[in-house]
Each structure stands twice: as structure tokens, then as C-alpha cells.
Amino acid sequence: MAGERYIGEFCSTRTPEWESKKGLYKASGLWEYFTSRRAHYREVFRDPVTGISNTELAHKAAQAEADGLWKRKERGEAVVVLEGDGKEEAGDSNPGVAERACFSSADVGKVDVPSDILWVYYHLGVADVKPEDAPNPGAWALLQHVQHDSDRIGEFYKGLFAKIVPSRSQIESMEKFRDDGREQFELLDRLAGEDSGPSSGGGV
């Protein structure tokens, strides 16, 4: 299908590219999964003060998950999407799930998504990380979702991680980067080059 060419690429809403990818999701049985994950991320990325949700970021995160699931299905992995609840089953177990007791020290009442994303970034290359090392169950699930799949790692760097890296103007305004900001600028340039897809519009 035509939508396959956009897998792994963020498509803005209200564009022909998004309509094509949406059709692929529906034909592949992934539409219910996508919409459920999008609703989930709209809550995750909702500002607790203003109550406003970052629908663009929610749409991007949900697309990244749905694209990754589509790729796994195309590789012939045993993936079953349970329509309506946004859950998935892969193989005999889900490594992103652990017993509640493992997270006894986690502050589950506090949502700090940027810190969770940074925690995942710092632990992508750690082989023996355990659930009890995670700040909360969500961070652990995200790490397990991306850690062992090169496609997902790329999507993580270009999507969620790129969103929390300070912009060039922010770095320039910070005194501590006055003399030694060159490395940070080079990082931003690399990330910008990797995430050069079309800018997003509003949610659907």
C-alpha cells in the first residue's frame, strides 16, 4: 500500500501523507491501537497547570509506536493487537511489564516526562538495568519498548528525545554555555538533520 512509504516518518495531520498512513493503519488492523495510544499520550503530555495537552507530541509518539508495531508484523513476529484497549502481545511475554512490587520506591503520583525520557536515554546501552532502577513503571516500559530494536531507537532519538533537547536560542541565552556551547550546537545540528520531516499540524 502507498502508506508503507511513510512508515518511520512522522506525518502531520491534515496532509495527504497522513491520510495515506491512516489508511495503512486501518488496513493492517492498527487503527484502534493508534487512536488508543494517541489518547494515552494526550494525557501524558497534558500540562498540569494549564490543562492543555501537547497534541502534536502525542500524535508523534503514537505514530512511532504504531509504525514500530507495523514493522514487527511485517517481519513476521508474533504480534497480536487487542483492538479497543491499545495493548499488544508479542511472543510469550512482555518485557515492559513487571510486578508492582518492583516499583515500590517510584513516585507514581508525579508525572515528569522529560526526566523519564532522559532516564531512558541514559540506560539505552545498559544491559542489566532492572525495573527497580526505573523512576516509575512508564519509564521502564518505554525503555523496554525501544532498547532492543534499532528502528525504535532511531525513532526515539528523532522523536521524544529531540523534543527535550534545548533549542539553539535557549542555549545562547544561558550564560553557562557562553564559552563552551560548541558541542551542544553540533548535537542540535545533528538532531535537526535527522528529524527533517514535515512540521506537524493539529491533532485529528
Domains: count for the chain = 1
Q: Are the beta carbons of 27 and 9 closer than 8 angstroms? A: no
Structural domain contains residue 97 = no
Output the pLDDT for position 138: 79
Q: Measuring CA to CA, which residue among 133, 165, 167, 164 is closest to residue 147?
A: 133
pTM of the model: 0.45
Output the pLDDT for position 62: 87
Structural domain contains residue 134 = no
Calpha distance 17→6 (Å, rounded): 7
Structural domain contains residue 72 = yes
Q: Give pLDDT < 50 ranges for the chain.
A: 82-94, 177, 199-204
Domain that includes residue 44, residue range: 1-92
In 3-state terms, what secondary structure has residue 79? strand
Can you list the alpha helix ranges (DSSP code H) found in the chain? 16-27, 31-44, 55-74, 113-123, 137-146, 150-156, 162-164, 168-172, 182-194
Structural domain contains residue 147 = no
Structural domain contains residue 78 = yes
Structural domain contains residue 12 = yes
Structural domain contains residue 136 = no
Structural domain contains residue 66 = yes
Output the pLDDT for position 21: 92
